[in-house]
């Protein structure tokens, strides 16, 4: 499936919008995980770890069709 990234949101099909939403959630979970790892590596107190785990779990659950 090809996603036309330049089109306005209202011109996309439901499936295309769903794919874009999943992609955004996946990228957000990835960036949150990276931020958490950097904080842990620096020895900082890290409340992001739980958020990153929850976000990754939610994305994985959604990707599996749950």
Residue 9 lies in a domain: no
Residue 30 lies in a domain: yes
Residue 46 lies in a domain: yes
Cα–Cα distance for residue pair 12/23, rounded to 1 Å: 15
Give the pTM: 0.64
Cα–Cα distance for residue pair 39/13, rounded to 1 Å: 39
Residue 25 lies in a domain: yes
Number of domains in the chain: 1
pLDDT, one tens digit for every residue, the chain (66 residues): 788 888 998 999 999 999 999 999 889 888 888 888 888 788 877 676 666 666 667 666 666 665
Say how many C-beta atoms besides its own lie within 10 A of residue 16's C-beta.
17
Q: What is the pLDDT of residue 12?
A: 93
Residues 6+ apart with CB under 8 A from 49: 36, 40
Structural domain of 30: 14-63
Residue 37 lies in a domain: yes
Residue 1 lies in a domain: no
Q: What is the pLDDT of residue 62?
A: 62
């Amino acid at each position: 499936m090809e996603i036309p990234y330049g089109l306005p949101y209202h011109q996309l099909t439901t499936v295309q919008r769903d794919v874009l939403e999943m992609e955004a959630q996946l990228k957000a979970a990835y960036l949150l995980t990276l931020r958490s790892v950097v904080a842990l590596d620096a020895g900082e107190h890290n409340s992001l770890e739980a958020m990153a785990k929850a976000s990754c779990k939610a994305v994985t659950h959604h990707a599996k069709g749950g």
